[in-house]
Amino acid sequence: FIKTSGLVNRKITKWITNKLVTFLRRSELKISRKKVLILGASYKADIDDIRESPTIKIIKQLKNAGYDAEYSDPYVKEINIDGKIKKSITLNDKCFKKYSVVLIATDHSIFDYKMIARKSKYLFDARNSKSRYFKKENYFKVWSKFYIFLLILIIKKVKFAKRIKFNYINGFISNESNN
């Protein structure tokens, strides 16, 4: 299961990055700035732990695709990207003008979602964050497809486990041949 969750994390960050890059390259948008602001660097809300952080992976993937990405996280003041230190930017009314797209990667409760909704040119939400504040014309929810993908992987893993005759019973994994 740990291997499966690691695979899901890698696939999802790549999938999100591909969605962002495809969106940014759409000719009818006429986006001049190649900058993305990622909200949240920790791997889950309201903590400072960046182990397995999707933000770090997404920043690297965006850089490889020719886009610049910065991040804002009140709990994580700086991150190391390939030996270079990136510092968290402070969210305010003016900072949103620099970015074509804002991606919510970690849904910290401290974020001002009303301001984010008001100031973001285009907003991608990977966490289903306070979507009641967001305008439909510039808001893209990417979280639901993530969960569908995750469920498909888990189902495939379960089918594989049944084929090799392992069962999950009462919190323990047991081999049927030993029963």
The answer for residues whose C-beta is within 8 angstroms of residue 165's C-beta and 6 or more apart is: 175, 176, 177
| First CA to last CA distance, the chain | 22
pLDDT at 170: 33
| DSSP conformational letter for 45 | T
pLDDT at 31: 65
**Nearest by Cα to 7 from 153, 176, 118:** 153
Name residue 46's amino acid: D
pLDDT in tens, 51-85: 888 999 999 999 999 999 999 999 999 999 999 99
pLDDT at 83: 95
d(CA 51, CA 41): 10
pLDDT at 172: 35
d(CA 88, CA 29): 28
Give the chain's residues under pLDDT 70. 1-10, 27-32, 131-132, 136-137, 142-179
Q: Is 88 in contact with 103 (CB distance < 8 Å)?
A: no
**Nearest by Cα to 94 from 72, 124, 61:** 72
pLDDT at 55: 95
Distance of CA 168 to the CA centre of its chain: 30
